[in-house]
Amino acid sequence: MTDEVAGIATRLAKHPFLAGMPDVHVQALAGLARLQRWPADTRLFSEHRTADRFFLLEEGLVYIEMPIPGQEDMVLETVRGGDVLGWSWLFPPYVWHFSALTVAPTEAIVLAAAGVRERCEASPEFGYDLIRRVAGVAIQRLHAVRLRLMNLYDPTPPRR
């Protein structure tokens, strides 16, 4: 293992998304990862484009957006250091369902989707662990959107 891969493995092991993942799986992910930084106002991915990676954010701020024709993009969620970004890479047809834009300088561990999917196929234990983690994030995000929609469309008049 090169020093660079070992450094990435150490960072992966510390990321909240991978907390408690067996070392052998973290080591496998490290070989599929690279570190990357972006300035504010950088488009990380766009809706309907190929989802070929995902991001473990270490620092920064990213909007998950939904394009609305004729209007500004709607911000669905804000993610930051310690969060994971992207799950469209895991499910065919492997295209992004939303867009993502950095709002502040952002640093992340970027993982190559095809290699991670191959690892999931080769190791069902690893695949189950990873999908369980992704599903947990999806549930949290859906719950957050539900709460925002309830606030947006609440027909109850405010109390005086």
Query: pLDDT digit string (tens) for 137-158?
Result: 989 888 887 887 777 666 665 5
Ordered by start, the domain boundaries in the chain are 3-152
CATH of domain 3-152: 2.60.120.10
Residue 149: its pLDDT value, please? 74
At 105, is the pLDDT very low, low, confident or very high (cuts 50, 70, 90)?
very high
With pLDDT > 90 as the criterion, what percentage of the chain qualifies? 74
- pLDDT recorded at residue 134: 94
- Environment class of 60 (CB within 10 Å of its CB; exposed 0-12, middle 13-18, buried 19+): buried
Give the model's pLDDT for residue 154: 63
pLDDT score of 116: 97
**pLDDT at 160 exceeding the cut of 80:** no
Q: What is the pLDDT of residues 33-44, one digit of tens each?
A: 999 999 999 999
89-108 mean pLDDT: 96
pLDDT digits (tens, 9 = 90+) for 49-67: 999 999 999 999 999 999 8
* Per-residue CA distances from 122 to 25, 81, 97, 128, 146 (Å): 12, 30, 27, 11, 36
**How large is the average pLDDT for residues 75-91?**
93
pTM assigned to the model: 0.89
pLDDT at 141: 83
Inter-CA distances, 96 with 67, 76, 80, 89, 107, Å? 12, 14, 19, 7, 20
Q: Assign 24 a pLDDT band (cuts: 50, 70, 90).
A: very high
Across the chain, mean pLDDT equals 92
